């Protein structure tokens, strides 16, 4: 009896602790089209959180556009970017985890996968350029997952588009309702500051890269005469008119709708000048979701379940060029992770123990003893992890939502050193396990085909095969338009299709059937000719049997 009471109260205590830790955590990604200001904003958040002391500390975390042909430089920068893959800091009692996403479009798939590990997103838009291509694609992924999004319109110190036009553009191109929570007072050289529509503050702009703005003037409403003491009268009528219009046209922010990913609050500011960043961060911490439940194939896993579970969403090699190690990034979904404890690797049906798990603090990584839902832990990996792998305390779970996308560029791997074919095989398998590219084995002729979403990956693969595995290869271009996974309930039809299209049939690494379409027309013809066959554009068809047309475009 005493034992039972004691056990119940210990369990209750542990649950309360877990619940407290979950409530404290906010795990999100900052995403943008390259150059919109993602790195600058990330850096300003870290400055606020005290995680870094100087500007410029995370500046080098992106692969620059001009580096596209220089893979040595890419490798060097990839090395740096590992250290900034996850950045944690504390702000007003909250543990904030920012997951970095590569800006370069050839690594878009990396970004999409990272988005599976966050609970919300801040989307940065350049006020001069408006919504750009990459922003639209990233937003599609957020929409599919109903990820809550806050939008930050950056570079208001530059002459940009009209703010109302920007809001229309956001709604139209990103296909989400928006609600401004702050409003700019002019822009460019005339930029005077923002009016905070959430708490009726006037925040006046000062150009400063280091100083945090404290120029807040509390007004109870925009018609308060006091505003005339602070703002040049020539800007006041326009501001009042704008604010009135916003209140008329836009409904108040419904936080539940934001949490369902149906409406995006919008802030204006200048990340470079530290302006509008604090409002953004504080509102984010107020409304952004704590770690959420996640779907596994078997069931939904709630964050506050006391048994640990998590999944690997990213694998990175070359952390330290002197020790060719890999690190698997694991998002904790439920329960408490503890160092030196055996966990169950559900794909390998094997128990693994981690003696040196790490967490990332700006550019440092530290050994951690424990982690909670929402945290991202780096696990040293000797090749036992693949993207999407699940760890649990023993339950057979497989987290969903970490798909491979249908690649668009294809090359055949040609071995250039017959004595190193084993090394080549191993290298190709391991690099594709990292999610760098996808490997297909063509049924006809047993050719090894690598599929990617960007050119850059081929350079990286070739370089790494040579330097890490001692294998030499070349790539022969293949003129395929898309690879899609095929399934069919009628085996006879499937076999017929395989026979007719034998030159275009391959298996992926998990032995799923894949069809290569030479062009859009060939794909259409195949779909029309074989209506019984389903053509899938993400590898997640095993759980989601329906073809997701939107995903197909990603």
Residues 6+ apart with CB under 8 A from 508: 404, 438, 439, 440, 485, 514, 539
Compute the half-sphere exposure of residue 88: CA atoms within 13 Å on the CB side of its CA.
19
Q: Is 177 in contact with 138 (CB distance < 8 Å)? A: no
Q: Which residue lies nearer to ligand G4P by CB, 64 or 240?
A: 64
Dist CA 506 CA 30 (whole Å): 37
CA angle, 44 then 49 then 50, to 5°: 95
Q: Which residue lies nearer to ligand G4P by CB, 39 or 116?
A: 39
Site string for ligand G4P, 233-272 (x = CB under 6 A): -------------------------------------xxx
Q: What is the footprint of ligand G4P within residues 85-144 (CB under 6 A)?
A: 103
Compute the half-sphere exposure of residue 440: CA atoms within 13 Å on the CB side of its CA.
32
Nearest alpha-carbon partner for 516 in 500, 527, 503, 531: 503
- Find the shortest distance in angstroms from Cβ 270 to ligand G4P: 3
Nearest alpha-carbon partner for 435 in 399, 371, 368, 388: 388
Nearest alpha-carbon partner for 325 in 364, 356, 294, 348: 356
Q: Which residue lies nearer to ligand G4P by CB, 160 or 357?
A: 160
- 187 lies in the site for ligand G4P, by CB under 6 A: no
- 157 lies in the site for ligand G4P, by CB under 6 A: yes
- Find the shortest distance in angstroms from Cβ 29 to ligand G4P: 12
- Find the shortest distance in angstroms from Cβ 158 to ligand G4P: 5
- Find the shortest distance in angstroms from Cβ 130 to ligand G4P: 14
Q: Which residue lies nearer to ligand G4P by CB, 34 or 79?
A: 34
Pairing relation of β-strands 263-268 and 177-180? parallel
- Find the shortest distance in angstroms from Cβ 171 to ligand G4P: 22
Q: Applying CB under 6 A, which of residues 158, 240, 447, 472 lies at the interface with ligand G4P?
A: 158
Size of the site for ligand G4P (CB under 6 A): 19
Dist CA 292 CA 268 (whole Å): 28
Q: Which residues of 467-490 are buried (b: 16+ CB within 10 A; e: fewer)?
A: ebbebbbebeebebebbbbbebee
What is the DSSP track for 22-49? HHHEEEEEEEESTTSSHHHHHHHHHHHT
Q: Is 416 in contact with 459 (CB distance < 8 Å)? A: no
Q: Applying CB under 6 A, which of residues 25, 62, 105, 179 lies at the interface with ligand G4P?
A: 62
Q: What is the footprint of ligand G4P within residues 420-439 (CB under 6 A)?
A: none
- Find the shortest distance in angstroms from Cβ 36 to ligand G4P: 5
- 179 lies in the site for ligand G4P, by CB under 6 A: no
Q: Is 313 in contact with 331 (CB distance < 8 Å)? A: yes
Q: What is the footprint of ligand G4P within residues 22-41 (CB under 6 A)?
A: 32, 34-40
Q: Which residue lies nearer to ligand G4P by CB, 180 or 357?
A: 180
Piece in contact with ligand G4P (CB under 6 A), picked from 77-85, 149-157, 163-171, 499-507: 149-157
Binding site for ligand G4P (CB under 6 A): 32, 34-40, 59, 62, 103, 154-155, 157-158, 270-273
């Amino acid at each position: 009896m005493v034992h039972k009471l004691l056990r119940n109260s210990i369990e209750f205590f542990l649950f309360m602790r877990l619940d407290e830790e979950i409530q404290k955590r906010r795990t999100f990604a900052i995403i943008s089209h390259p150059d919109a200001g993602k790195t600058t904003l990330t850096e300003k958040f870290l400055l606020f959180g005290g995680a870094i002391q100087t500007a410029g500390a995370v500046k080098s975390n992106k692969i620059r556009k001009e580096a596209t042909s220089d893979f040595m430089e890419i490798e060097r920068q990839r090395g740096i970017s590992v250290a900034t893959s996850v950045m944690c800091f504390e702000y007003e009692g909250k543990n904030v985890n920012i997951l970095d996403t590569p800006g370069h479009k050839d690594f878009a798939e990396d970004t999409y996968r990272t988005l599976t590990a966050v609970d919300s997103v801040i989307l940065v838009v350049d006020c001069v350029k408006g919504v750009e291509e990459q922003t639209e694609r990233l937003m599609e992924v957020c929409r599919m997952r109903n990820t809550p999004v806050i939008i930050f319109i950056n570079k208001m110190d530059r002459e940009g588009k009209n703010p109302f036009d920007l809001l229309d553009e956001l709604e139209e191109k990103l296909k989400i309702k928006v609600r401004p929570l702050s409003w700019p007072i002019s822009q460019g050289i005339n930029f005077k500051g923002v009016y905070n529509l959430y708490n009726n503050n006037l925040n006046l702009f000062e150009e400063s890269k280091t100083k945090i703005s404290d120029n807040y003037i509390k007004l109870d409403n925009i018609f308060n005469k006091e505003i005339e003491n602070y703002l040049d009268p020539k800007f006041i009528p326009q501001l009042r008119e704008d604010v009135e219009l916003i209140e008329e046209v836009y409904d108040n922010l419904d936080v539940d709708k934001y949490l369902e990913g149906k409406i995006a609050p919008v802030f204006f500011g200048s990340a470079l000048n530290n302006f509008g960043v604090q409002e953004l961060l504080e509102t984010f911490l107020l409304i952004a979701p704590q770690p959420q439940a996640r779907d596994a194939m078997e069931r939904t896993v709630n964050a506050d379940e006391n048994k640990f579970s998590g999944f690997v969403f990213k694998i990175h090699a070359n952390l330290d060029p002197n020790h060719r190690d890999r690190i698997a990034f694991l998002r904790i979904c439920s329960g408490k992770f503890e160092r030196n404890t055996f966990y169950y690797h559900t794909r390998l049906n094997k128990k693994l123990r981690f003696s040196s798990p790490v967490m990332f603090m700006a550019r440092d990584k530290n050994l951690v003893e424990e982690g909670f839902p929402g945290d991202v832990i780096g696990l040293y990996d000797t090749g036992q992890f693949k993207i999407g792998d699940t760890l649990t305390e023993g339950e057979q779970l497989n987290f969903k939502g970490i798909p491979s996308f249908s690649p668009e560029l294809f090359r055949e791997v040609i071995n250039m050193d017959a004595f190193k074919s084993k090394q080549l095989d191993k290298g190709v398998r391991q690099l594709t396990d990292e999610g760098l590219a996808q490997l297909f084995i063509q049924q006809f002729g047993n050719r090894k085909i690598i599929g990617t979403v960007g050119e850059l990956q081929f350079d990286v693969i070739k370089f790494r095969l040579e330097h890490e595995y001692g294998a030499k290869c070349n790539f022969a271009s293949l003129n395929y338009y898309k690879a899609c996974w095929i399934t069919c309930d009628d085996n006879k039809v499937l076999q017929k299709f395989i026979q007719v299209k034998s030159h275009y049939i391959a298996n992926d690494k998990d032995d799923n059937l894949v069809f290569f379409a030479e062009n859009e027309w060939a794909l259409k013809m195949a779909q029309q000719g074989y209506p019984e066959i389903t053509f899938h554009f993400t590898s997640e068809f095993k759980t989601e049997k329906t073809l997701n047309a939107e995903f197909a475009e990603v």
